[in-house]
Structure 1
Amino acid sequence: MFTSITARIAAFGALVLIALLALIWMLVDASIQTRDSFRWVTHSAEVIETMDDALVALREAESAQRGFVLTRNASFADPTDARIADARQSMARLVRLTADNRAQNIRARDVQALAERRVTLLRDTLEQARRGQFDAARGSIAAGTGRDLMTMLSLRADSFLSEERALRITRIAAADSRLAWVRQLALVGGPLLALAILSISLLLIWGIRQPLGLIHQAMTALGRGDRDRRVTATMGSREFAQLAHGYNAMADQLQAAIADQGRSAQDLQAAHAQLLRNSDTLQERGEAIELLGGMAHRMQAARTDEELAQVIRVFVPRVLPGVPGALYAHNNSRNLLVPITGWNGFQPREEGFAPDQCWALRRGQSHFVAQPGGDIVCSHVDADLLYHCEPLLAGGEVIGTLYLQGVVQEESRFRLTVMAENISSALVNHRLQRGLREQTIRDPLTGLFNRRYMQESLAIEIARARRSGAPLSVVMCDIDHFKRFNDEFGHDAGDTVLQSVATEMRSRFRDGDIVCRYGGEEFAVIAPGATAQALAARVEMVRKGIMEIVLRQGGRALGSTSMSFGIASWDDKMAIDGSTLVQAADAALYRAKREGRNRAVIDLPAAA
């Protein structure tokens, strides 16, 4: 289908890109569906909790009313109105929560109607007692109407809760199924894609080396005196077919010259020298293609910035010997070209440069100065330097640039072009892999590291502390009276509080500290190299900073908040997986809660 090597390489790159995009799309789609499933599970739990709250409030109101009627003690009647209001509020909220489910909404409204009847009866009996008509009130209770209503209400509520629990089980099963699909997609799709890339790369290399060997054999035979040797086999690509055709034509001319005695010995020697030069060029081109293929494969397999930089430092000097330079990658958030690495002794500018400072990126093609004053000099290059800038683009988007100090000779342009395409593809792949990694280790609400990353990092830091003997401490903390924000202002306000606290903690702790959202309103901090006592001063600054936060949601003031902290340090008696250290910090946190909240407590064994 593709008769050109260049077309095959381009098609291979396109197929790899399409496969990567397809895999990423499937992973993102599956993740979104999983998130939605868990949201519905949470919704069902909230519906069940709301129904339970309404029933508890109604029963407590009924108990308070009966206590007042039977004992004539007015203190029993005080909480009745408040619990009736709570019950009605919970019933109204239940109706709103089930608006997305017609059947459950009908059941909720039915329960709400029965609850209103029970509330009316409760209030009527309570008013009789308050007016001093205790005999009439006891008669109303003894009539059993309230008990019958409460029995009917409980039966309807049980039916509602049974349906909602069954719905939650179904949603949990759907979420688990989608999680299994994401895991299977990641475990199967990645290796299959890597295997496909390796297989196609080997086919491309074989497609280059096989015709190259035939041509080289023919040339070697011709150089040894076999004047009739020709390349007759199928080359498999247009470029090698042209080379074979050129070789055959040259060999024919050489044979004709030998047959024609009129040719001079000088012409014969010149033709032979040209043939040898072509052979060396062809062999050098094949070696370059093989080297670039190995470089591309390693770049695609790199997982970190340092691994990618190491591949560049090892292979670029082999592809372009004697040419120093650097690779810059585009940082979207800062809109800067930042250095990845340099080679052959060149030290790139650590601060980077803006894209509009490079003429290669402006024009979307190579830009070079091969002699002083030969062209416009880029702003990021010192004056009077000979250099070459090669833009790295993908789909019209700036990926980075290759800066080469000196002049790139014409015979090296092919290597530079293929190398730039390979590096562009590798940078795009690296960026996508890093984005996926961030999604798996970050909490989506606060942007902090999640609990899974915290557990992995803690095990790593404990191993380092065991080897080096350096101190290691952990902080467990949570927001005081967090439920108040959800109850008074709604869950969106609770999310605002979590985000504000997370921002404050991220700005107050050191860059080396690992700040995580442990779950709900609870956070955790891993502090390598810090003792509990030294860490306590830093925690105190964080505690005061959180108290000073002015919490607002839109134009609504939410008030202020505070946090309680528990600090513990690791020692050799603790489990190496970090569980014991977390438990110690958690115990200190509970002590801080018991002692009045809004304080930091150091774990006593660690402090001792």
Structure 2
Amino acid sequence: MLHSLTSRIVFVGSIVSVNLVCLSGLLLSASNSMIASFEWNTHRQKITEVVSETLSDLREAQAEERGYLLTTDPSFAKDFDDRVASALSKVNMLEQLVQDNPVQHERAQSLQIATNERIDTLTKQIALARQGRFDEARSRVVIGQGRVDMAIIAQKADEIRQTEQELLITREATAKAHVSWNRKLVIGGCLIIVLLVNGLLYIVLNGMRRSVSQIVRAMSDFGNGNRTVRVDDKMGCTEFDMLAQGYNTMAERLDAAMQAQEASDQKLLKANTELKRNNEAMELLGEMAHRLQAARTSDELSAIICAFVPRVLPGIPGALYTHNHTTNQLERIAQWGAPSVGCEGLHPSSC
């Protein structure tokens, strides 16, 4: 009878061990899937950021070109060169980032061509201005082709960003489905183990009731959310000692897998929140740059700066100064945030 009882316990214990290994393997696989999903989403977010930065650099380069043609200040030309270099670098980076997606890769190449053409036009106008031919350069700007070209570029950029956003939403939905499946997997696995342990209870009868009750109680607590509960693996019975060790191993792996899953969820949520915040800031900067191009007076410039800068940099006070050629002073024409920021005027050498 003892041999038969031992054989049954060993048989059931083997089934428990197999289920524990399978459950741990499934959870590990699910955790790896979540990590891969997070890396994929990070890649998609990087693409969206590069597209926004490319468009922002191009708009700022155009604004610097306008500033140079209007003021003949060489500092605008220097800033123009920096923005052009940044835009070219970003659009080339974008072409590399989307190689895994043929449709997006084709769009990126189209955006790259349009960007290069726009930069070539701006560079030619800057070159004329550097030769002192400002009137000729301004006459080319007045034609208005730049607005059309920028609209085309913005449309191409929006197509790429929209597609990436749709891909992010799809993958986020998939990640949520994985989370739900993992939870069901944990509950189902715990229920299977509880059933097997109840089978052992029936086999060993009253002599092993205490040990079985301890294991069942620990599993129930684990299933109810207490992931720190463990079983004493010194029960005075070799078979039950092995079962306790198996449970503790399973609990450690489940706890580790669930922690990894929760960390991955938090990272994904944080990345999505950061992406939305960055997109809003980029859109505000783009809109501000667009309106600055149309500003004709200091009052218009001041109004635009005061309207947008506090939204882009909330809680940070500041002021805008312009150079008065007559007095050779920097005069404050706008401020935001604190009641009084800086002084009314200062000498250029003080900056």
SS of the residue 2:244 aligns to: helix
2:65 match:
65
* Equivalenced residues, count: 257
1:424 and 2:242 matched: yes
Matched ranges for 1:179-198 at <5 A:
179-198=179-198
Q: Matched residues in 2 for 1:77 and 1:122: separation?
A: 11
Percent of aligned pairs with the same amino acid: 28
2:148 counterpart letter in structure 1: D
> Is the contact between residue 44 and residue 164 of structure 1 (CA under 8 Å) also seen in structure 2?
yes
Q: CA deviation at 1:172?
A: 1.0
Which structure has greater helix proportion?
2
- Do residues 295 (structure 1) and 294 (structure 2) align? no
Structure 1 match to 2:286: none
Question: Which amino acid counterpart does residue 247 of structure 2 have in structure 1?
Answer: N
- CA 1:72–1:123 in structure 2 vs 1: closer, same or farther (change >3 Å)? same
The residue that corresponds to 2:309 in the other structure is none
Match of 1:121 in 2: 121
2:203 alignment partner in structure 1: 204
Partners of 1:99 and 1:197 in 2: CA distance: 53
Structure 1 residues 450 and 116: CA distance shift in structure 2, 3 A:
closer
In the alignment, structure 1 segments of 5+ residues that lack a partner are 207-289, 317-418, 453-608
- Measure, in 2, the Cα distance between the counterparts of 1:119 and 1:103: 24
Match of 2:331 in 1: none
Supply the AA of the counterpart residue of 1:177.
Answer: A
Report the Cα offset of residue 129 of structure 1: 0.4
Q: CA deviation at 1:442?
A: 6.3
1:126 and 1:137 in contact (8 A); partners too: yes
CA deviations over 1:55-94 (Å, ceiling 9, x no partner): 0000000000011112212222221111111111111111
Alignment match, 2:256: 438
Instruction: Tell me the equivalent position of 2:289.
Output: none
Q: In the aligned structure 2, how far is the partner of 1:451 from the partner of 1:159?
A: 28
For the aligned residues, what is the CA RMSD? 2.8
- Amino acid of the residue matched to residue 32 of structure 2? I
1-structure distance, mates of 2:22, 2:252: 17
Residue in structure 1 matched with residue 177 of structure 2 by the alignment: 177
Q: C-alpha distance in 2, partners of 1:295/1:19? A: 20
**1:75-154 equivalent positions in 2, closer than 5 A:** 75-154=75-154
In structure 2, what is the Cα distance between the partners aligned to 1:8 and 1:81? 81
Kept in 2: contact 1:65–1:77 (CA 8 A):
yes
1:386 maps to which residue? none
| Mapped partners of 2:34, 2:229: distance in 1 | 33
Structure 1 pair 427–195 and aligned structure 2 pair: CA distance change class (3 A): same
- Of structures 1 and 2, the larger Rg is shown by 1
Alignment partners' CA distance in 2, 1:173 and 1:17: 34
- 2:132 match: secondary structure: coil
Partner SS state of residue 104, structure 2: helix
Q: 1:165 and 2:165 equivalent?
A: yes
Contact 2:61/2:80 (CA < 8 Å) preserved in 1? yes
Match of 2:53 in 1: 53
Deviation of 1:307 after TM superposition, in Å, equals 5.7
1:66 counterpart letter in structure 2: R
Question: What letter is aligned with 2:9?
Answer: I
Q: Does the alignment pair 1:28 with 2:25? A: no
> Within 2, Cα distance between the matches of 1:189 and 1:130?
74
Deviation readout 1:293-335 (Å, 9 max, x if unpaired)? 64255247547999644x74xx54xxxxxxxxxxxxxxxxxxx
Shift of 1:177: 1.0
Cα 1:301–1:24, aligned 2, differ >3 Å: closer, same or farther? farther
> SS of the counterpart of 1:99?
coil
Pairwise CA distance, 1:168:
1.2
Is the Cα contact below 8 Å between 2:58 and 2:87 reproduced in 1? Answer: yes
Taking the TM superposition and a 5 Å limit, the aligned residue runs for 1:104-503 are 104-198=104-198, 200-205=199-204, 290-292=206-208, 294-296=210-212, 298-299=214-215, 302=218, 308-309=231-232, 312=234, 316=236, 419-441=237-259
Q: Distance in 2 between matches of 1:26 and 1:192?
A: 15
- Alpha-carbon contact 2:65-2:80 (below 8 Å) kept: yes
What residue in structure 2 maps to residue 18 of structure 1?
Answer: 18
**Counterpart amino acid of 2:155?**
L
| Greater share of strand | 1
Return the alpha-carbon distance in structure 2 between the equivalents of residues 180 and 80 of structure 1.
51
Q: In the aligned structure 2, how far is the partner of 1:7 from the partner of 1:155?
A: 72
Q: TM-score, normalised by structure 2?
A: 0.66
1:176–1:305 Cα change, 3 Å:
closer
Give the match's secondary structure for 1:100: coil
Return the alpha-carbon distance in structure 2 between the equivalents of residues 176 and 428 of structure 1: 30
Residue 39 of structure 1 is matched in structure 2 by 39
For the 8 Å contact 1:296–1:423, the answer to whether it is kept is no
Cα offset for 1:292? 3.7
Q: What one-letter code is carried by the residue in structure 2 that aligns with 1:61?
A: A
Partners of 2:238 and 2:29 lie apart in 1 by: 32
What per-residue deviation string (whole Å, max 9, x for no partner) do you get for residues 135-184 of structure 1? 11112212333322212111111122221111111111111111111122
Cα 1:104–1:306, aligned 2, differ >3 Å: closer, same or farther? closer
Kept after mapping to 2: 8 A contact 1:125/1:140: yes
Distance change in 2, residues 1:306/1:143 (3 Å)? closer
Q: Is the 8 A contact 2:27 2:257 kept in 1?
A: no
Partners of 2:164 and 2:44 in 1: CA distance: 6
Partner of 1:479: none
Whether the 8 Å contact between 2:27 and 2:254 is mirrored in structure 1 is: no
**CA separation in 1, counterparts of 2:26 and 2:210?**
29
Residue type at the aligned position of 1:425: L
| Alpha-carbon distance change, 450 to 159 in structure 1, aligned in 2, over 3 angstroms | closer
